[in-house]
Homo-oligomer: A and B are copies of this chain.
Amino acid sequence: MVNTNRIAEIGLLIGEPARAAMLDALMDGRALTAGELAGVAGITPQTASGHLARLSDANLLAVERQGRHRYHRLASAEVADLIESVARIAAVTLPQTRRPVTGPRDAQMRLARTCYDHLAGGLGVAVTDALVAKGVIAFDDGAGIVAPDGLDRLAALGIAVDDAARRTTRPLCRPCLDWSERRPHLAGRLGAAVCRHFLERHWVTRIADSRALFITPKGRQALRAEFGIAEIG
């Protein structure tokens, strides 16, 4: 058994509001500077610096120097999964008082956002449902399956799974429980490929300082034409 002290250490790293906020801010897979992270956590840069050093030492974060900036990002998809697990419990654990905390910004998040590196929210589950309806993928009791000709059919749409990452342990196709929708959306390497495709074609664009995504008119048209999705929500 892994020493339980190691488990506690990881828990402790997450168990601090400022660090949790920073980790959450990095959940979209992008890299942010120490200053930006200090901002989202509501603390001074020098305090943030200490936190980030600890997170990096524990290999939860990876840091990349670029000039006088230091960009921090989650060290791996596994770390993102960890945060997801915690957040899932956090949501379940919470007594169901006043579930929908609907702000204007919240609405955008519910409509479309990224979850680490794949699509989530109404858009995420809609695209997932469409792929299931097409028979490209299927979910069997929480396990993801790709049809034998699934990858070829996706390639025909211009969606290519990153071959360089094939040898990693990261799952190809995996369901990920969506917070706002409470239903699974597509995750794994395939989910990342779909998300990349949407961003590259400018079907969606990132909304500043947020994981929320804006669905462009071009995107709405493509959703209708290629996935048969007329309305989201």
Contacts and interface: CB of A to CB of B under 8 A. Distances in A.
Contacts of A15: 8-15
Contacts of A1: 24, 106, 109, 179, 211
A11 B8 contact: no
Interface in A72-117: 76, 78-79, 81-83, 85-94, 106, 109
A170 interface: yes
Copies of the polypeptide in the assembly: 2
A157 interface: no
Contacts of A9: 15, 90
Nearest to A84: B85
Interface stretch (A123-131, A141-149, A192-200): A141-149
Contact of A93 (B60, B145, B173, B189): B60
Interface in A10-52: 10-17, 19-21, 23-24
A13 B11 contact: yes
19 contacts: A2-B90, A7-B20, A7-B24, A8-B14, A9-B15, A9-B90, A10-B14, A11-B16, A12-B12, A12-B15, A13-B15, A59-B93, A60-B89, A140-B172, A141-B171, A141-B188, A142-B170, A142-B172, A142-B188
* Nearest 5 A/B pairs, CB to CB: A142-B171, A11-B14, A11-B15, A12-B15, A141-B172
Interface of A: 1-17, 19-21, 23-24, 58-60, 76, 78-79, 81-83, 85-94, 106, 109, 140-146, 169-174, 179, 188-189, 211
Given A141-B188, A143-B145, 7 more contacts: A6-B90, A11-B16, A12-B15, A78-B92, A140-B145, A143-B172, A145-B145
